[in-house]
Amino acid sequence: MKDRPLLSFVEAVKVMALFKVLANDTRLRLLHHIVRSGEATVTDLAKTLGMKPQAVSNQLTRLSDTGMILSRRDGNNVYYRVVNVCVGPLLDLALCLMEDPGANCAVEKDNDEQDDN
């Protein structure tokens, strides 16, 4: 992170928009379930979260708009999967911060890079 230049105004606005989408308990739970399962249908997600399929679809659209997830249709089913490799580590870091704010949370990729130096 220290190697990155200071966020420009445009970059800061984009990051803010991303966090606004993530600042929703339903979307976070949907995203977490998809990360854990690899791929899930709207029906599976609705059943797991105890929601109506239409409500799940609406939230998945918001997540799809960020480019974090993609969908594919197979017959009557629509499957969703995470396409951005940063999503899992982002959720892990958020959980780490929540569980122990003073902990030394690190993304696995960063640890590998440190080992190489």
Is it the case that residue 55 has pLDDT exceeding 90? yes
> pLDDT, tens digit, for every residue of 64-96?
999 999 999 999 999 999 999 999 999 998 888
Q: Let me know: does 42 contact 60? Beta carbons within 8 Å.
A: yes
Cα–Cα dist 43/79, whole Å: 9
**Average pLDDT of the chain to the nearest whole number:** 88
Q: What is the mean pLDDT of residues 25-36?
A: 96
Cα–Cα dist 115/111, whole Å: 6
pTM comes to 0.78
Question: Cβ contacts of residue 57 below 8 Å, gap of 6+?
Answer: 42, 78
| Domains present along the chain, CATH in parentheses | 1-84 (1.10.10.10), 85-117 (no CATH)
Cα–Cα dist 22/35, whole Å: 14
Cα–Cα dist 114/91, whole Å: 21
